[in-house]
A and B are shown apart, each in its own frame.
Chain A
Amino acid sequence: MRGVLYVLACLGVMGLAAWAYRENYATQQALGGVGRLQDEIARLRESLAMQRAEWAYLNRPERLAALVALTFDRLRLMPMEAGQFGAIGQVAYPPLGAALGPSVTLSSEGEEGL
């Protein structure tokens, strides 16, 4: 009876040792993975900051003004004026029969009287 207990305890210790060994290496691998991920996060953050800077640079007021001048014949964008504020009541209801079709034109090209 006692011998059996000893053998079982030994087996238990060996099993635990094997488990600890495996966990140790799994932890090290996970740490390595975290390190790689953090490097990647840093790289992505860096490119994100770069993209943000580029976005800000492309949207600088000077360039937007130049684009407005360049596309004036098509878009006719003007500075915002007091007359462009309206009340919701001033917006007309659509005519009864006119369902919103799938062909909604998102460009104002070719429209009159913008």
Chain B
Amino acid sequence: MIRRPLRPLAPVLSARDRGENPDAVERSHRREREEARRDGARVRAEGRLLMLGLLFVIAFGAIGARMAAIATAEAAEPRTADAGAAILGSRADIVDRNGRILATNLPTQALYAQPHRMVDGPRAARALAAVIPELDAPMLLREFTDPGRRFVWLRRRLSPEQVQAVHDIGEPGLQFGPREMRLYPNGPEAAHVLGGVAFGREGVSAAEIVGTAGLERALDGRLGDPAQGAVPVVLSLDLGVQAAVREVLGAGMRLMNAAGASAVLMDAVTGEVVALVSLPDFDPNVRPAPAVAGDPALSPLFNRAVLGVYELGSVMKPFAIAQALDLGLVTPATRINTRGPLTWGRYRIRDFRNYGPELSVTDVIVKSSNIGTARIAVQIGGERQQAFLRALGLLDPLPLELAEGALARPLLPRQWSEIATMTIAYGHGLSISPLHLAAGYAALVNGGTRVTPTLLRRDTPERGARVVSEATSAAIRAMLRATVTRGTASLAEVAGYPVGGKTGTADKPRPRGGYYEDRVIATFAAVFPAHAPRYVLVVTLDEPVETSGPEPRRTAGWTAVPVAAEVIRRTAPLLGLRPEIEPAAADALIRVRN
């Protein structure tokens, strides 16, 4: 654009000629220029307004179009999302520590009937009763011919053969609903750990599976979480070891004429339970109904290893001895007065037989002297004893991943008097479960750190709080080993695996107070290999009688010990333990000075 000057020479000159003010020329030019600028600005503003309006129209149009599309379109699931999740297996599998399946799901069909859609109700009732014998034909006939019924559940689970047979009846009023059933492929192995399931809320096309007992109930939230349905829950159990323990324990129970038996095999450092057996047991696939009459402790559903709290007898002695060693009250060689009977008020404490005037602390354990242990317990005192047992976790419910775990509550004396201190030291007056005992022994022998039992595999071992010193732990290991080499548990020698342990024989309490004369609970708590314990085994037999001798023998040394020895002989190679020659005992004895 050619800029026009405000005072062009020609008009100014001609204005001067005409005698006009040349400033008027400049003013008129200024006005023209101002008007042109204003016109331009208006056009630009109009353009901007138009553009803005257009944008608004487009935006609202897009929103409207989307709304119309949503309103008129049919609803559909997004199909590309979530390709990884399993369609089947809404409930997670349970596997053992090596990945072998302990519990999984199977698709199955539930059967229901819609009588108003039936072509020939009576014929369907007859044919169905023939195919599924559990159904009652007259009842079916009544249901199918009742005009008021529109829907009736018939069976929750059908086998594939039964599904085909029902299809063959050809009755349109018989319908199937897809179901998942929980399958325990190993039958009764680990039945008490796994527990059981039942159908929760039910619909035609699906049913919720909820745990009713054991692990299935305790971990119900995790197992039923759809986000983790494809990730199995890994247990600490080893199926092969579990099966071997169950087989040996069952044979031992029959051989010793016992009413029941339990075994706990636990990793001494991590607290992982490698095998947990309670006999008699049951098949979780056909879980029996809970007993309504009689003693619930005799039901196969009763988990003796976890729920059975008993006064376990002399197996408790190492706890008192360990505490006395740890406090520096005694050394393994200290002589303890064992002259009996020990009279305390109206109580008299006796030994199984007279062991002479005095024994060393080691021999108190080896020969299992009640009097010697009671005397040591008096030195410790009730308060310190209680604090020690609590630190070991023996006075609290088990923190185990079982629905029943919280029920495994130890029975404490009402008043922790001095006589209670003495009797608890040798295993009477305090009732704990075999699993408590295993955890306590693990803590004593593993170097002295607390062990929390668990049923889930732990990949990183973590040490618990210190309970006793390393030296005390070593001394206890030597004493437990001596009990096997020259004491009450001499039948526990296993070739290749040095075993240490302590026996316990406790009279069973009568339901109405007092104790039975001829019914005992025989317990053997073993650790192996004794010099560097990897595993703790607790075997408990309920009312065993060994009848090979001239008179029946009931002590643990004759009943629980040989069974435990056989369990160790079978399971130690399965656990990958190489047989080893134990280091000379002298080395161990030098190290135990406190």
Contacts and interface: CB of A to CB of B under 8 A. Distances in A.
Interface in A66-98: 79-85
Interface string B221-252: 00000000000000000011001100100000
Given A34-B79, A38-B83, A49-B89, A56 B189 contact: no
B61 interface: no
Contact of B239 (A35, A41, A61, A82): A61
A41 B185 contact: no
Given A52-B101, A60-B187, A81 B573 contact: yes
A10 interface: no
Interface string A33-74: 011001001100110011011011101111001000000000
A31 interface: yes
A112 B363 CA distance: 50
Contacts of A42: 87-88
A49 B79 contact: no
A44 to B, nearest CB: 10
B250 to A, nearest CB: 12
A83 B247 CA distance: 21
Chain B: number of interface residues, binned into ranges: 20 to 34
B66 interface: no
Interface in B10-48: none
B386 interface: no
A90 to B, nearest CB: 13
Interface residues of A, number: 27
B165 interface: no
A62 B246 CA distance: 11
A105 B79 CA distance: 54
A69 to B, nearest CB: 12
Interface in B243-272: 243-244, 247
Given A34-B79, A53-B183, A84-B573, A46 B189 contact: no
A36 to B, nearest CB: 10
Contacts of A46: 87-88, 107
Interface in A3-52: 31, 34-35, 38, 41-42, 45-46, 49-50, 52
Contacts of A50: 106-107
B497 interface: yes
21 contacts: A34-B83, A38-B79, A41-B83, A42-B88, A49-B86, A49-B89, A49-B104, A49-B106, A53-B101, A56-B104, A56-B185, A60-B186, A60-B189, A62-B187, A62-B189, A65-B247, A80-B574, A82-B495, A83-B496, A83-B579, A84-B573
Interface of B: 79-80, 83, 86-89, 100-101, 104-107, 183, 185-187, 189, 239-240, 243-244, 247, 494-497, 569-570, 572-574, 578-579
Given A42-B88, A53-B185, 11 more contacts: A34-B79, A34-B83, A45-B88, A56-B100, A56-B101, A60-B186, A60-B189, A61-B186, A62-B187, A83-B496, A85-B579
CB-CB nearest 10 A-B residue pairs: A82-B496, A61-B243, A42-B87, A56-B185, A82-B579, A56-B101, A57-B185, A80-B573, A46-B88, A60-B186
